[in-house]
């Protein structure tokens, strides 16, 4: 009886495999019939963009949908490049699924133009086309592009803050005032408060606000800051680091005071990687799926930097591509939320940033409007 059951089961298995193989052999082949074609705006249209209208619609971009031999879900990407460009480094204006149009805001169109080399206030020609994709099929693109003229505005993010950088033989840059100088991290609550916790060599240092220039500058002694407004003013005393090691240096530019205290970093973890993650990386929630690795300082392994173009969205920092150790904040541009992990999501406005992060205390500084 058992042998009969085994024979029956074997026959059923053979039939199942045969049916599955037949299904694969008879599966219809998906073929592309026609590529999408841009219909609006018309080629030659001129856009003069203004910051006052940043949130308004610049135009509705439309195209004839792609056609395939079978009903499928088609993904579209609306792309823009410089006139006669090869679209290798094109800007994506919009992405849709089975929708053959996209409303493009003034801000989005302007930022794409700036990223592609537009000079604010000067008209520049750009080509626009649509690329479509279906899972399991070769991507198709519009056979012809439309050409539009864009006069962009600066698109700079409002950044009413002063940054202060370390300079001196106790710091990573030495006495060079424009050589990767480490900035202080600014409080997200009080823009007059700055702090930096990190490694110093034995020696001296001051702080400057404009890279490449020696004024404005702060020096000081005895807990009191001394300000040098111009090169014609006297040179203030340098801050002294008697022994190499980790210190916390904090200044208050309103009360003109400072503190400089040793910091115990002996138990601090040296992470293999720190990454920036969030919707600001891609402009969509998909940006939370992975991160962009930052560059670790060779002078101080707890300091990390990154230059990156970001979108409107949120961001955080995390260690080793995992969520068990992560840092955030609730203030744009800068903050030092304190020791430990977690925190809120940092709000980010679309721009190109120089990002600094300190894993000793979660301090971050994101300077926009980079070129």
Instruction: Look up the CATH number of the domain holding residue 66.
Output: 2.60.40.10
Residues 113 and 166 both lie in one domain = no
Domain assignment of residue 129, yes or no: yes
- The pLDDT assigned to 336 comes to 84
Q: What is the mean pLDDT of residues 143-160?
A: 91
Residues 209 and 298 both lie in one domain = no
Local confidence band at 159 (pLDDT 50, 70, 90 cut-offs): very high
Residues 136 and 206 both lie in one domain = no
Domain assignment of residue 26, yes or no: no
Residues 340 and 249 both lie in one domain = no
Of all residues in the chain, the percent with pLDDT exceeding 70 is 87
Domain assignment of residue 292, yes or no: yes
- The pLDDT assigned to 12 comes to 40
Local confidence band at 40 (pLDDT 50, 70, 90 cut-offs): very high
Domain assignment of residue 2, yes or no: no
Domain assignment of residue 353, yes or no: yes
Residues 111 and 207 both lie in one domain = no
Local confidence band at 13 (pLDDT 50, 70, 90 cut-offs): very low
Local confidence band at 22 (pLDDT 50, 70, 90 cut-offs): very low
- pLDDT tops 80 at residue 240: yes
Residues 86 and 142 both lie in one domain = yes
Residues 120 and 78 both lie in one domain = yes
Domain assignment of residue 123, yes or no: yes
Structure confidence by residue, pLDDT tens digits, 163-174: 999 999 999 999
Given 242, 267, 292, which residue is the final one in a domain? 267
Residues 275 and 322 both lie in one domain = yes
Print the SS3 string covering the chain. Answer: CHHHHHHHHHHHHHHHHHHHHHHHHHCCCCCEEECCEEEECCCCCEEECCHHHCCCEEEEEEEECCEECCCCCCEEEEEEEECCCCCCCCEEEEEEECCCEEEEEHHHHHHHHHHCCCCCCCEEEEEEEEEEECCCCCCEECCCCEEEEEECCCCCCCCCCCCCEEEECCCCCECCCCCCCCECEECCCCCCEEEEEEEECCEEEEEECCCCCCCCEEEEECCEEEEECCCCCCCCCCEEECCCEEEEEEEECCCCEEEEEECCCCCCCCCCCEEEECHHHCCCHHHHCCCEECEECCCCCCEEEEEEEECCEEEEEEECCCCCCEECCCCCCEECCCCCCECCCEEECCEEEEEEEECCCCEEEEECCCC
- pLDDT tops 80 at residue 24: no
Average pLDDT over the chain reads 88
Residues 318 and 300 both lie in one domain = yes
- The pLDDT assigned to 133 comes to 82
Domain assignment of residue 128, yes or no: yes
Which one has a higher pLDDT value, 246 or 5?
Answer: 246
- The pLDDT assigned to 339 comes to 44
Total structural domains in the chain? 3
Domain assignment of residue 21, yes or no: no
* Range of 52-56, 155-159, 201-205 with top mean pLDDT: 201-205
- The pLDDT assigned to 206 comes to 98
- The pLDDT assigned to 354 comes to 98
Residues 60 and 121 both lie in one domain = yes
Domain boundaries, position 339 = 270-370
Q: What is the mean pLDDT of residues 184-188?
A: 94
- pLDDT tops 80 at residue 141: no
Q: What is the mean pLDDT of residues 353-362?
A: 96
Residues 191 and 260 both lie in one domain = yes
Local confidence band at 154 (pLDDT 50, 70, 90 cut-offs): confident
Local confidence band at 237 (pLDDT 50, 70, 90 cut-offs): very high
Given 131, 152, 173, which residue is the final one in a domain? 152
Residues 251 and 337 both lie in one domain = no
Structure confidence by residue, pLDDT tens digits, 273-316: 999 999 999 888 889 999 999 999 999 999 999 999 898 899 99
Given 152, 169, 184, which residue is the final one in a domain? 152
Q: What is the mean pLDDT of residues 135-145?
A: 69
Instruction: Look up the CATH number of the domain holding residue 257.
Output: 2.60.40.3620
């Amino acid at each position: 009886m058992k042998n009969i059951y085994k024979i029956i089961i074997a026959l059923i298995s053979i039939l199942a495999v045969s049916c599955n193989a037949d299904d694969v052999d008879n599966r219809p082949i998906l073929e592309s019939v026609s590529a999408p074609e841009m219909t609006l705006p018309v080629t030659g249209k001129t856009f003069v963009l203004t910051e006052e209208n940043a949130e308004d619609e610049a135009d509705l971009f439309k195209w004839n949908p792609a056609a395939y031999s079978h009903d499928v879900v088609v993904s579209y990407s609306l792309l823009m490049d410089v006139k006669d460009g090869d679209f290798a480094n094109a800007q994506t204006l919009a992405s849709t699924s089975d929708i053959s149009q996209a409303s493009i805001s003034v801000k989005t169109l302007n930022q794409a133009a700036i990223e592609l080399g537009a000079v604010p206030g000067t008209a520049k020609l750009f080509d626009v086309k649509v690329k479509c994709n279906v899972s399991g099929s070769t991507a198709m693109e519009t056979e012809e592009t439309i050409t539009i003229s864009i006069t962009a505005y600066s698109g700079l993010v409002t950044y009413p803050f002063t940054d202060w950088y370390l300079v001196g033989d106790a710091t990573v840059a030495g006495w060079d005032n424009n050589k990767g100088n480490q900035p202080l991290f600014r409080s997200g609550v009080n823009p007059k408060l700055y702090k930096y916790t990190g490694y110093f060599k034995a020696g001296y240092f001051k702080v400057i606000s404009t890279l490449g220039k020696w004024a404005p500058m702060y020096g000081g002694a005895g807990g009191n800051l001394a300000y040098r407004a111009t090169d014609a003013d006297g040179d203030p005393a340098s801050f002294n680091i008697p022994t190499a090691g980790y210190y916390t240096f904090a200044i208050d530019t309103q009360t003109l005071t400072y503190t400089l205290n040793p910091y115990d970093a002996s138990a601090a973890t040296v992470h293999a990687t720190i990454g920036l993650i969030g919707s600001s990386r891609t402009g969509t929630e998909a940006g939370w799926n992975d991160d962009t690795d930052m560059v670790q300082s060779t002078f101080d392994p707890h300091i990390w930097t990154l230059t990156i173009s970001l979108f409107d969205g949120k961001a955080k920092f995390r260690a080793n591509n995992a969520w068990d150790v992560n840092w955030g904040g609730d203030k744009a541009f800068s903050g030092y939320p304190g020791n430990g992990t977690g925190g809120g999501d940092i709000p980010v406005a679309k721009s190109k940033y120089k990002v600094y992060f300190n894993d000793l205390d979660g301090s971050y500084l994101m300077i926009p409007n980079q070129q």
